């Protein structure tokens, strides 16, 4: 990314690559952002457990949920600076 800074984690959609691009000062920070914002998450579901389902989980994906609600994910931008 052209605006890469060593004190900031950023995530944005690159239309040329048709994918999200992350810049980060530490690899673990980049992994955290990718996982939490565009990754799948298992959410425990008490109703499924009560019904006796072996897998009592639902899958939640923020990116997919935003698309379902009518948002254009290609405009998604996120940045956070390290503390001084």
Number of structural domains in the chain = 1
From 39, 41, 9, select the one nearest 22 (Cα to Cα): 9
The answer as to whether 71 is a domain residue is yes
Q: What is the pLDDT of residue 67?
A: 93
The per-residue pLDDT for range 17-47, each reduced to its tens digit, is 988 889 988 888 888 888 888 888 888 888 8
The answer as to whether 2 is a domain residue is no
Integer Cα distance of 17 and 5 in angstroms:
21
The answer as to whether 46 is a domain residue is yes
pLDDT band, residue 3 (cuts 50/70/90)? low
The answer as to whether 1 is a domain residue is no
The answer as to whether 3 is a domain residue is no
Instruction: Supply the range of the domain harboring residue 50.
Output: 8-81
From 32, 56, 54, 29, select the one nearest 42 (Cα to Cα): 56
The answer as to whether 14 is a domain residue is yes
The answer as to whether 39 is a domain residue is yes
> Is 57 in contact with 44 (CB distance < 8 Å)?
yes
The answer as to whether 58 is a domain residue is yes
The per-residue pLDDT for range 64-78, each reduced to its tens digit, is 999 999 999 999 898
């Amino acid at each position: 990314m052209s605006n890469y800074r060593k004190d900031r984690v950023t995530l944005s959609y690159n239309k040329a690559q048709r994918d999200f691009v992350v810049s980060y000062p530490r690899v673990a920070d980049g992994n955290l952002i990718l996982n939490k914002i565009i990754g799948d998450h298992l959410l425990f579901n008490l109703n499924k457990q009560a019904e006796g389902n072996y897998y009592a989980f639902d899958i939640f994906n923020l990116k997919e949920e935003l698309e379902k609600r009518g948002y254009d994910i290609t405009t998604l931008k996120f940045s956070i600076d390290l503390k001084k």
